[in-house]
Structure 1
Amino acid sequence: MSYKILAINPGSTSTKIALYEDEKQIFVKTLDHTAEEIEKYERIQDQFEMRKDVVLSFLKENGYNVNELSAVVGRGGMLPKVKSGAYRVNEVMACRLKNNPVIEHASNLGALIAYEIANTIGVNAYIYDSVRVDELKDIARISGIIQIERTSTSHALNSRAMAIKYAKEQGKKYSDMNFVVAHLGGGISITVHEKGRMVDVLTDDEGPFSPERSGRVPCHDLIDLCFSGKYDARTMHKMLRGNGGLKSYLNTVDAREVQKRIDNGDEYAKLIYEAMAYQVAKGIGDLATVVEGNVDVIILTGGIAYSETLTSWIKKRVQFIAPVVIMPGENEMESLALGTLRVLRGEEESREYTE
């Protein structure tokens, strides 16, 4: 029996959709939303009907029958802490994402659109590996300030998918191996996977800087900057997420542009780009200690993993820990669809979301 799965991944200005028949990708399409469309809505949740209609219109106009779908999967949104893997979207989850998400974020719409379409045709909707996957050990939650608990927010979807894929290629099980996975994109997160559980993480505010995020910065200097009177809270948040990293130093978030500058002899651009690789390598070393150095493989993934320059710098510093494998690309649509396929085939069980 074959399964058809529609995957839905909302971003800030677009909604990406893909149709899979078992492991085969039938199509992938990015449906762009103009600034004028987006600006009509006060809250992200208010965009639900507009985005859903765009998805359904594309499918209808291109001759795809939604009634043939076996399941619909959406990008997991900003829920409270959840486990890894699949959750069936239910009324409790939909209500939380619609009315009280942890953070307003476009990904919250993924489950809602999937749920609406699935209900219409009488199949299940799922999310898979939400950005809020949190399987940290108790010891990993200790921050150093009692009022602040460490939690996990990461590129769990792609990171786990690449680890699962690598294990399968080696004829092994993800649950039998230890990985350190660095997702290198507009944001960078590094995760350590111990025998099937993502037990610790360096999030984008406590790990390496990235094209647009500052990563971990000296706390005393940050506090002084906050209370200098020069910046309001919104500006400071933007300095950390949006205007940090490569944007702060080189006024670009495009790693390809940075590479061009380096190729043209820009030594400052090379210093900053190599510093990003240096910090990623430090982060990988940090997390290798969590499993006492027993790392089977280090995986570099995400869009910037296509950069041979960056990955070679990282590899040089960490290959003494474990073999380094480069699996570039975001791989989000494939990860959503194949995770759901495993559920449909009975290879994984989905969870039921409760408050």
Structure 2
Amino acid sequence: MKILVINPGSTSTKIAVYQDEDCILSKNIEYASEEINKYPSTMMQLQMRKDSIIQTLNVEGHELGSFKAIVGRGGMLPKVKSGAYLVNETMIRRLKENPMYEHASNLGAVIAGEIAELINVDAYIYDSVRVDEMNEVARISGMPDIERTSTCHALNSRAMAIKTAKKVENRYGELNFIVAHLGGGISISVHEKGHIVDIIADDEGPFSPERCGKLPCKNLIDLCYSGQFDEKTMHKKLRGQGGLVAYLGTNDAREVEKMIAAGNEYAKIIYEAMAYQIAKGIGELSTVVKGKVDYIIITGGIAYSDMLTTWIKERVEFIAPVEIIPGEYEMEALAFGTLRVLRNEETAREYTE
């Protein structure tokens, strides 16, 4: 069965064609900044992006009529369950008219739906960025004004847990996992018998290459009202200019390891501190399932770092076996999830409000 996968980013659209489990085409369609900037909103890029996808498929020799299904990256919907949803008019209307946030991923379902309509097949989203299956007790923050919500790398994290379960000849829904996704931002999630029941988001846990993570609240409030920085600058200090960037001037873990190899002790302390905080987060989430963790998974781009993953593993392997799965597998996750629906191994939900 042939599946078209669509994953819009801020200045590009990744597409892939899968024939069952085999990826037979992978393309990153990039757009010039002047092309993107002429649209007042992300959703207004819809026709341009859709045309570029169809044109690319034509050039690569893939007729639209050859696809069994289309899957797009799920956008900023209200809370949804994990797994597959059929793209319907209610979902498209919400993403077009009233998404939770403006984000390129909002285009995924809409483009998938429009292309699917052209060839009379179903369109899906899978493991939207808004997957939220947290327990009610996990939503309590300590301040009634703020409710904790699930914001993590759900797509790749669930895919790696499913992959690990298959590797050990078991089912995802029968095991407990803790998954640490290490990228520009770091999120950690605990999966209890097939559901992400709690998370540590990228602003409440370990610092990362670009984000500062959890901070002492009183000191942060003092800094916000110190008069040194405006609101926009403070947001940048938290996301984009925090973490490794703030301490070492780079968001590239490979550059940090070069500093360490050259004898930079300060760089070593900072890098080890990041591993230390990731391990603390894993330990924290192990309490959610009362220590009954079957596997710990470390994934994402920085999981290629043997130095970092060794430091983490040394601190957490007493909890459960540790699986290192470097990289991101979003396109594969979207395709494989859709394939399970087509094979009746999973059932797609109907989106309602």
Place the TM-score, normalised by the shorter chain, in its bin: over 0.9
Deviates more, 1:43-52 or 1:146-155: 43-52
- Aligned to 1:249, the other structure's residue is in SS state helix
1:17 deviation in Å? 0.6
Which letter maps to 2:145?
Answer: Q
- 197, 206, 221: which one aligns with 2:195: 197
| Structure 1 vs Structure 2 CA RMSD | 0.9
Q: In structure 1, what is the equivalent of residue 126 of structure 2? A: 128
Which letter maps to 1:279?
Answer: Q
Verify: 1:33 aligned to 2:31, yes or no: yes
1:40 deviation in Å? 1.2
C-alpha distance in 1, partners of 2:236/2:114? 34
Q: In structure 1, what is the equivalent of residue 248 of structure 2? A: 250
Deviates more, 1:137-146 or 1:51-60: 51-60
Q: In structure 1, what is the equivalent of residue 283 of structure 2? A: 285
Verify: 1:142 aligned to 2:140, yes or no: yes
C-alpha distance in 2, partners of 1:252/1:210? 11
1:292 deviation in Å? 0.5
Verify: 1:233 aligned to 2:231, yes or no: yes
Identity of aligned residues (%): 67
Q: In structure 2, what is the equivalent of residue 49 of structure 1? A: 47
C-alpha distance in 2, partners of 1:7/1:335? 10
- 208, 211, 224: which one aligns with 2:209: 211
Verify: 1:337 aligned to 2:335, yes or no: yes
Which letter maps to 2:324?
Answer: I
- Aligned to 1:325, the other structure's residue is in SS state strand
C-alpha distance in 1, partners of 2:35/2:212? 30
Residues 218-239 of structure 1 show CA distances to partners (whole Å, capped at 9, x for unaligned) of 1111111111222222222222
1:117 deviation in Å? 0.6
Residues 109-153 of structure 1 show CA distances to partners (whole Å, capped at 9, x for unaligned) of 111111111111111111100111100001100000011111001
- 282, 299, 302: which one aligns with 1:301: 299
Normalising to structure 2: TM-score of the pair?
A: 0.98
Which letter maps to 2:319?
Answer: I
C-alpha distance in 2, partners of 1:12/1:266? 35
C-alpha distance in 2, partners of 1:264/1:49? 50
Q: In structure 1, what is the equivalent of residue 156 of structure 2? A: 158
C-alpha distance in 2, partners of 1:251/1:332? 28
C-alpha distance in 1, partners of 2:27/2:209? 25
1:280 deviation in Å? 0.4
Which letter maps to 1:201?
Answer: I
Match runs of 1:38-187 below 5 Å = 38-187=36-185
1:197 deviation in Å? 0.8
C-alpha distance in 2, partners of 1:268/1:24? 45
Which letter maps to 1:180?
Answer: I
- In the alignment, structure 2 segments of 5+ residues that lack a partner are none
Residues 2-49 of structure 1 show CA distances to partners (whole Å, capped at 9, x for unaligned) of x11011111112111110010011011111112222211221112211
- 200, 207, 220: which one aligns with 2:218: 220
- Aligned to 2:287, the other structure's residue is in SS state helix
C-alpha distance in 1, partners of 2:85/2:8? 18
C-alpha distance in 1, partners of 2:36/2:146? 34
C-alpha distance in 1, partners of 2:86/2:237? 37
C-alpha distance in 1, partners of 2:246/2:46? 34
Deviates more, 1:95-104 or 1:136-145: 95-104
C-alpha distance in 1, partners of 2:325/2:342? 26
- Aligned to 1:210, the other structure's residue is in SS state coil
- In the alignment, structure 1 segments of 5+ residues that lack a partner are none
C-alpha distance in 1, partners of 2:98/2:234? 25
Which letter maps to 1:51?
Answer: R
C-alpha distance in 1, partners of 2:2/2:266? 50
1:188 deviation in Å? 0.6
- Aligned to 1:290, the other structure's residue is in SS state coil
1:96 deviation in Å? 1.0
C-alpha distance in 2, partners of 1:150/1:286? 16
Matched residues, number: 353
Normalising to structure 1: TM-score of the pair?
A: 0.98
